[in-house]
Structure 1
């Protein structure tokens, strides 16, 4: 059965917390992960272990990468770049990528680890200027962070191949935002750190009035790589395991843990709907002429990522007639569409909502009806009932009257439904 893993950032998210939580749920993966981290270049004289841990309320695991023992001689000598990276925590992204590329790490894990580091480098480059290849990691360049990212990459890749399934999906509860300042090689930075903030864009967050860094750059990069959905959704799932990973800090009144809940997806029949997420932009306009607003909304409909534009007449403040505008947008295109709203209309503010929606299985096909090629969208409703809807733009170009359009519509939809039933 395919797996779904839901992350519950009670205390926050960091690379070591992610590894500890996943291994608490899947302890059988610990040895393989350790071997992967070693093959990525972690010297033998640096301890790397999973330990049991408990606080005032919970028990779980911690993932610890220890300091090197200068008196230990294992016969394994790190490269000069690796030694500098550990001692000072300063290493360029180009060096990290080169070391991983040249390592004996399995190729799929290697690609994931490089992808996570690339996300970090791109975020840092945007914050500090320059390109990703010019970025030098500071705190992220230390051995523990390198082990965290490689270990996370191994676990993600291994779980994705679980039981030859369709691939493991991931979701997360809202992330604690944190507050205050955090020390870095660049001095004191606001929490979340600027690079972390960029990586968290589009994710749901919450505030709980606790100070300190709650999501680290490494943790945010892992979440971004996983492309986590917001919440587990409404489709039934079977809870089969859980894991608890502790961070290094202690938080007042709450366990500093990341929990992972492991679900087995139940079989989804062909008539069941699926979960999707969209962004809804809402605003009102009362000082733009109707004809100019119509032009502006027409432009908005053409912006990439816009799924629908709805205009509703309403009464606003002081009894004025207003146009209520709602635009549904793909999450990745939110900022671009917001900018277009401010460009094409007179609104000076809008409301942004992240919505979960249910979508029936559907597909679009082309049929030949009345010597015309007509696009028809079919959808599967509960109990396997199929419905069809002919594309009006095609009907309008093929027929000149209501009666002709109606006849063509009925014929095209009937053909599409017959075709759908014959394919079942």
Structure 2
């Protein structure tokens, strides 16, 4: 499976998430069958359609820049189901193993939750909660081929931006996040920029270094990673892989965010995106992204500082300044 996904040419975050899903599934199957993980035969879940399901879900979340996934109680079904191991009670052993720690309910006759579906939830939707406060942007509905009396055979996904909840100030969104930290005193300093870039590519909301002084006066760095709850496992694994640390500590924090969007202004003959943070209908922050400015500077053969200055001036001229009304129709995600 790992070799198959490695040859597929997938973006790194998609490949890693898909591998994590199949890894969680293999661990569950190994536990219920009492065998080593390497000896697991996937049977139904190894079929091409299940591989497409897992990769498709992971790719969709990556393409939509989804930072946090939540799912409520899972209806696992009731009765019995035909499997490669014969007729078995619902939920089948692998589903029961993967659902450990989650809220489940019978929900109806037959198998309503498959091992593949539960593995996706176990890896991608680590947080179990009802619909969080959000500004709803899109709805997706997928229907299965089996007709169940009195129960539509559909899965629904709601996509939106975090909104304020009880106790949040107006015009801001709040969400839980996980801070992962590790102290490292023996890594070549030239490696750190690549480590930070890799963690951001792997789905970190932010990653940074803090100079620290460790025992016996050794200079070191504290690597800090801000992670959506559903990405913490993967980012923790990346920290072990990319650095020499022997341990990662973590804590849950509450992150409060301005509502944000993107506008474009004319700079040196190009349309440069400006990130706009706003609250209560008024702009709080408006600034160009450094990478976009650096790219345009290289194309035009001018200093990056000149592009940044021109972008700020163009943004002010377009009314994108602190205290000004937030313009309608801001782009919802990073422009491409």
Larger RCO: 1 or 2 (CA < 8 Å, sep 6+):
1
TM-score of Structure 1 vs Structure 2, range by shorter chain = 0.3 to 0.5
Return the TM-score normalized by structure 2. Answer: 0.48
Larger Rg: 1
